[in-house]
Structure 1
Amino acid sequence: MTTYWRLLDANAEGADWREVSRIVLGIDPDREPKRARQAFETHLERALCMANSGYRQLRGGPSKAP
């Protein structure tokens, strides 16, 4: 969860994906550009999903609003 919160904060601040990949995900985008970009995108997508609706699953409720 901490990683997702950090990704959401970085996204809200408009941080560069390369910096986020390096600092938050621990992947060097200079050495592994494809892996770094893919990890950033997929993790951010999950973080946004959790922030928007996935939290309901954590607390045991329905995953979609009525």
Structure 2
Amino acid sequence: MRVSVELDPDVDDEAPTGDTITVYDERHHVTYWRLLDANAEGADWKEVARIVLHRDPLGDEFRTYRCWQSHLERAQWLSREGYRKILEQAAANKA
């Protein structure tokens, strides 16, 4: 990883998209895992947005939902495919 992982960082309105691991992804790695855990437990998205993403769903429900959804989708991509890219980057850095 190029940057240190933050345990409870603020987030952008939308997570990155695409098939490359970004500095944002590296910084928000823990956030992604927390979202995956909450989703697996069936937690209410509004509660997750408030606690994990520091967003107020009562203030702007659509914007908060989109933020939660984009970060969860990114977390799911990382768990399915993106982790391979992290491993490839680590292997390339060792070579």
TM-score bucket (shorter structure): 0.7 to 0.9
Query: What is the aligned residue count?
Result: 61
2:54 pairs with 1:15: no
**Pairwise mapping of residues 46-65 of structure 1 onto structure 2 (< 5 A)?**
46-60=74-88
5+ residue gaps, structure 2, are 1-28, 90-95
TM-score normalised by the chain length of structure 2: 0.62
User: Please, what is the CA RMSD of the aligned residues?
Assistant: 1.0
Give the counterpart letter for 1:59 in structure 2: L
Q: 4+ residue stretches of structure 1 with deviation over 3 A? A: none
Aligned residue for 1:43?
Answer: 71
* Distance (Å, rounded) in 1 between the aligned partners of 2:58 and 2:84: 37
5+ residue gaps, structure 1, are 62-66
* Distance (Å, rounded) in 2 between the aligned partners of 1:60 and 1:39: 28
* Distance (Å, rounded) in 2 between the aligned partners of 1:24 and 1:32: 16
Q: Which string of whole-angstrom CA distances, capped at 9 and with x for unpartnered residues, describes residues 24-61 of structure 1?
A: 00000000111110001000000001011110111117
Which structure exhibits the higher relative contact order, with contacts defined as CA atoms closer than 8 Å and separated by 6 or more residues? Answer: 2
Aligned residue for 2:33?
Answer: 5
Give the fraction of aligned pairs with identical amino acids, expressed as a percent: 52
